[in-house]
Structure 1
Amino acid sequence: MREGEGWVLFAWLMLLVAGVMSVIDGIVALSRSSFFHDVGAHYVAGNLTTWGWVVLIVGIVEIAAAVSVWRGGSFGRWVGILVAGISLVVWLSWIPIVPFWALFVMFLDVLVIYGLAVYGGQRQEA
């Protein structure tokens, strides 16, 4: 294994898991499940259907970025960094609601950004 290959693998896995979870969240929001009623009324901008579509589309982009990272494409590297950066900022707003989980996800986002920024280009060169 080359130097940094583990970081790229970690970033790929985190993007894939985040994408799948976002797709699931989007589908649940679109189905108007009671799962989001308490949180949805207070923390989600717009209505639940809009939130569901946005999260679903973001999840699909995350999965596409993960596939691109796995294949060594630059699309996945840059989109992965962008998505992790956006996630980092979004989770800042969730610190008062779920402090430990928000800080944990933010920590993972920083690791994904580091892995893709420092080592993400190595797969393309191989």
Structure 2
Amino acid sequence: MAEERSRAWAGWIAFAAVIMIVNSLINILQGMVALLDDERVLATPDGFVLVDITSWGWALVIFGGVMLIVGGFLLIGQSWARYAAVVVISLHAVAQVVSIGAYPFWTLLMIALDTVVLFGLIARWEPAAEELRYQNDRVGPAGLTNGEFPHEAPSHGTRIS
């Protein structure tokens, strides 16, 4: 029973990491659009707290890069990445307030996802992180368990899917 719970919580950590990575890629994309084609970014003075489109673009790209790195290390079960992710996701949620006037639905969606990610990172970390590290050690590239790597001939009756 405890093993099943730790696997479930390991799933929450993996979910948090994947959401962080997806959010980081979205931030990087938005930042690149702001940097490369600032006429595509709609910002009204009364709906968006913004000093400069270029600064906003660079902030998104840099913040997205940090989220991507932390999310990647979180996915492989690094304990330090949990603390970094909690800080990064908390800052991301607070930073979303800047754009709530311009993009209310998007901002609320991002804050909700950040809240779910924080839940996955804070609740039941130790047994879940241990399970995640165990799964990473046991499972090789492309989800193949040790002994089923493509360069090895599979034994009779073993099917690699």
Shorter-chain-normalised TM-score: which range?
0.7 to 0.9
- Tell me the amino acid that sits aligned with residue 91 of structure 2: I
99-108 or 64-73: bigger deviation: 99-108
Q: Structure 1 CA distance, aligned partners of 2:33 and 2:23? A: 15
TM-aligned CA distance change 1:92 to 1:50, over 3 Å: closer
State the match for 1:57 in structure 2: 62
State the match for 1:18 in structure 2: 23
Q: Which one of 88, 92, 95 corresponds to residue 93 of structure 2?
A: 88
Shift of 1:119: 3.8
State the match for 1:39 in structure 2: 43
Q: Structure 2 CA distance, aligned partners of 1:61 and 1:120? A: 21
1:66 aligns with 2:71: yes
State the match for 1:27 in structure 2: 32
State the match for 1:117 in structure 2: 122
Shift of 1:44: 4.7
Higher share of residues assigned helix? 1
Aligned CA RMSD, in angstroms, stands at 2.2
State the match for 1:79 in structure 2: 84
Q: Structure 2 CA distance, aligned partners of 1:26 and 1:113? A: 24
TM-score normalized by the length of structure 1: 0.82
Larger radius of gyration: 2
Give the 4+ runs in structure 1 shifted more than 4 A.
none
TM-aligned CA distance change 1:79 to 1:45, over 3 Å: same
Structure 2 gap ranges (5+): 135-161
Q: Deviations over 1:67-100 (max 9, x none)?
A: 1101111232122211221222223344443333
- Tell me the amino acid that sits aligned with residue 123 of structure 1: A
TM-score normalized by the length of structure 2: 0.67
